[in-house]
Amino acid sequence: MRVSVLLFAIYRELAGTGNLDVSLPERSDVRALLAALRGRGRLSALPAEVSVAVNRQYAEPGTILADGDEVALIPPVSGG
């Protein structure tokens, strides 16, 4: 299956792009996606802990992904 990964702010600059398409085994969870991303060159520098939203909802490490999901890596937020 494929998921669409969105990157913002410092993570976008780290990746050099605002979005990536990632192929994963069926029923992979968020943790597996992050492990796959860390296997790529520039994203190996992702911090030890990363907040994630799946389809615009904050998600948990064990959240199971589905084909076509929109997964966003959320740096510490600083609105206001």
Partner 1 sequence: MAWSDVGFGEIAPAVVLERVGAGGHGAVNLFLGVVRDSNEGRPVSGMEYEAYEAMAREQLAAIVAEAERALRGGGRVAAVHRLGDLKVGETSVAVAVSTPHRAAAFEAARRVMEEIKVRLPVWKRERYLDGSPEWLGGQAPPVGAGGDRTREDRHARVGPAGPEA
Cα–Cα dist 66/64, whole Å: 7
Judged by CB under 8 A, how many residues of this single chain contact partner 1?
31
Sign of the torsion formed by the C-alpha atoms of 69, 70, 74 and 80: negative
Using CB under 8 A, pick the residue from 19, 20, 29, 36 that binds partner 1: 29
What one-character DSSP code corresponds to residue 26? T
Binds partner 1 (CB under 8 A): choice among 3, 5, 15, 34: 34
- For 28-54, letters b (16+ CB in 10 Å) and e give bbbebbbebbeeeeebeebeeebebbb
Cβ closest to partner 1, residue 17 vs residue 51:
51
Position 62 contacts partner 1 (CB under 8 A): yes
Q: Which is nearer to partner 1, 1 or 19 (CB)?
A: 19
Closest distance of CB 70 from partner 1, Å: 9
Examine residue 52 and tell whether it contacts partner 1 (CB under 8 A).
yes
